[in-house]
Chains A and B, each alone.
Chain A
């Protein structure tokens, strides 16, 4: 596709359930970022992939959060035992190698009820 695509655009889940958020980056982009954005706040770094490997996962808040990018393209952010505090907009961005423009997807709005 022409841009970064995230699915679903909206996800409502019950507390304690498991969710998967998908990011399809721009073709050929090696770098992929996941961010979490709460209302009125800046994007909060979660994890960064360079190719298939997680180069930096220091932003994941706890072990309920996990992300994969098995073939160096599509990435999935997985959240186990969701809590109401996980409710936020989850943004994915991709860029070419080092220091080039990062393009964002439209985000997945996660609501945990």
Chain B
């Protein structure tokens, strides 16, 4: 079944440092892995996603890597800024036929200290 584990649950970094958040999944049929950022009191918003036929994707300071063999994917944020402070969620899309669902990790609270 679908299960996503996310680590760490909290992460504190100094401004300018890099931050890495890791997720593992169990369903080998999973084929889409989005990352969401949720600021306090706001809705989750997609920041980057990766599909199973790609190993890495970058968008400015954000990158995601996927290792299908090991069933894990990671979010990398470089040159962190205070506005990066938020809760980040990984997710996987898994299922079959017409029955797919998006399952989320428990989240990582990232704090970027000025």
Cβ-defined partner of A104 (8 Å) among B31, B43, B99: B43
Residue from A33, A91, A102 whose CB has the most chain B CB atoms within 10 Å: A102
- B104 pairs with A106, CB closer than 8 A: no
Set of chain B residues within 8 Å of A98, measured between Cβ atoms: 32, 93, 100
- A102 pairs with B104, CB closer than 8 A: no
Q: Contacts A101-B34, A102-B34, A105-B43 given: A41-B102 contact, CB under 8 Å?
A: no
Q: List 6 A-B contacts (CB under 8 A).
A: A41-B106, A55-B99, A102-B46, A102-B102, A104-B43, A106-B43
State A48–B99 Cα separation when bound (angstroms): 8
Does A93 reach chain B (CB closer than 8 Å)?
Answer: yes
Which residues of B pack against A, CB within 8 Å? 6, 31-32, 34, 42-46, 49, 51, 89, 93, 95, 98-107, 109
Of residues 24 through 57 on chain A, the ones whose CB sits less than 8 Å from some CB of chain B are 31, 33, 35, 40-45, 48, 50, 55-56
Which residues of A pack against B, CB within 8 Å? 31, 33, 35, 40-45, 48, 50, 55-56, 91, 93, 95, 98-99, 101-107
Closest to B45 in A: A104
Q: Contacts A43-B44, A43-B89 given: A55-B104 contact, CB under 8 Å?
A: no
State A56–B103 Cα separation when bound (angstroms): 12
Looking at the assembled complex, report how far the CB atom of A76 sits from the nearest CB atom of chain B, in whole angstroms.
Answer: 19
Closest to B93 in A: A99
Set of chain B residues within 8 Å of A55, measured between Cβ atoms: 98-101
- A107 pairs with B34, CB closer than 8 A: no
Closest to A4 in B: B43
- B104 pairs with A99, CB closer than 8 A: no
Cβ-defined partner of B101 (8 Å) among A41, A42, A48, A106: A48
- B102 pairs with A93, CB closer than 8 A: yes
State A93–B100 Cα separation when bound (angstroms): 14
Set of chain A residues within 8 Å of B43, measured between Cβ atoms: 91, 104-107
